[in-house]
Amino acid sequence: CKVMHLLFRTILVLNLLASAVSFECGHRFGLFRNPYDCTSFYQCDEWWAIKKNCSSGTWFDEEGHICNWPEYVKCWEELECMYYDQEAAPISEDVRSQRQSTCMFNHVVAESVEPGRKKNPLNVKIVEEILTEEIFIKAFPNANAPYTYTNFLKALAPFPSVCKTEIHCKQELATMFAHFQQETDGLFYTTEQGNRFDRYCQASINWVVKTYPCIPTKRYYGRGSRQLQWNHNYGAFSQAMYGDPKKLLDEPELLATTWLSFASGIWYFVTPQPPKPSMLDIVT
């Protein structure tokens, strides 16, 4: 009995340690929003912060100290930027600094976006004014399942630097869709039409193997609006979207079936590849 009790307490402590992060409590006790994620919050107890998740489909409301439906919560307007960082990559501080110049929001910001929704992020509202759903459908009559107008708006939401002003938005949209056209033939192809039997697994570079390990049953051939390829690109995009490279290494097919089809292309558009600047930097 004593052994079981000790085992239970050990498991409890390990779980607490696993959920504790470098969040500084503003007060000794209380519930506080996660500055990077609408769907989670921190419970502070004696200055000790424990991360907790809201139920599926809800966001944390700091004013009411409850998890509520997104339409009743002010969240994305107060989120802090997340910056793409490839910690294990052998890159210089200058390159790291350039990559960290890209401001991004957590993927959950995209989930609640719908055409015409009053609480859509500002850049999404700007795009809705310039590129209406009617124009989108006429421009891409053969668009495949994941390439919907709604999914495009969702994909824009985590990237506040894209279409942040109406002046540059038309140029940015034209540049992005020119690349999408080249890769997908009018948003028709969701995967590459070449050698999809190739695993596209980079396994000869130690830091890539450690940071973005290939899943034996998965292939990382071109998917989505920019036809993203290779495990290190899937992992880096996953890190940028989810804070976890494993998410899309485990589920690469999401790039061909969800709003991530567009998001992967937009991520490629905004991410600099030093010494080359990002395509967004060139356009604006």
Give residue-wise pLDDT tens across range 198-256: 889 998 889 899 999 999 999 999 999 999 999 999 998 998 888 889 999 999 999 99
Query: What phi and psi, each to the nearest 5 degrees, are found at residue 28?
Result: -65, -40
Contact (CB, 8 A) for 225 and 180: yes
Q: Which one is predicted more confidently, 122 or 143?
A: 143
Binning pLDDT at 50, 70 and 90, where does residue 92 land?
Answer: low
Predicted confidence at residue 93, as pLDDT, reads 64
Mean pLDDT comparison of 48-52, 142-146, 192-196, highest-scoring range: 142-146
Binning pLDDT at 50, 70 and 90, where does residue 176 land?
Answer: very high
183 is catalytic: yes
Q: Which one is predicted more confidently, 119 or 68?
A: 68
Query: 12-16, 66-70, 93-97, 271-275: which has the minimum mean pLDDT?
Result: 12-16
- Mean per-residue pLDDT of the chain: 84
Mean pLDDT comparison of 65-74, 169-178, 192-201, highest-scoring range: 169-178
Q: Which one is predicted more confidently, 17 or 275?
A: 275
Give the angle subtended at the CA of 237 by the CAs of 112 and 200, to the nearest 5°: 130
Give the angle subtended at the CA of 101 by the CAs of 125 and 111, to the nearest 5°: 40
Predicted confidence at residue 163, as pLDDT, reads 93
Residue 11 has pLDDT above 50, yes or no: no
Counting Cα atoms < 13 Å in the Cβ hemisphere of 252 gives 28
pTM of the model: 0.75
Selecting among 62, 111, 128, 183, the annotated active-site residue is: 183
Closest C-alpha among 111, 156, 95 to residue 130: 156
Measured between alpha carbons, how far is 267 from 270 in angstroms, rounded to an integer? Answer: 5
Q: Over the range 137-152, which residues count as b (16 or more CB within 10 Å of their CB) and which as e?
A: eeebeebbebbbbebb
- Name the amino acid, one letter, at 156: L
Binning pLDDT at 50, 70 and 90, where does residue 273 land?
Answer: confident
Structure tokens of 181?
Answer: 């056209």
Predicted confidence at residue 90, as pLDDT, reads 58
Structure tokens of 44?
Answer: 């502070």
* Edge-to-edge strand ranges of the sheet holding 48-53: 29-34, 37-45, 48-53
At 190 the three-state DSSP class reads coil
Binning pLDDT at 50, 70 and 90, where does residue 102 land?
Answer: low
Mean pLDDT score, 121-128: 93
Contact (CB, 8 A) for 221 and 192: yes
Predicted confidence at residue 57, as pLDDT, reads 81
Predicted confidence at residue 199, as pLDDT, reads 87
Predicted confidence at residue 155, as pLDDT, reads 97
Q: Which one is predicted more confidently, 194 or 101?
A: 194
Predicted confidence at residue 62, as pLDDT, reads 84
Measured between alpha carbons, how far is 147 from 83 in angstroms, rounded to an integer? Answer: 26
Residue 99 has pLDDT above 90, yes or no: no
Residue whose tokens read 């719908």: 114
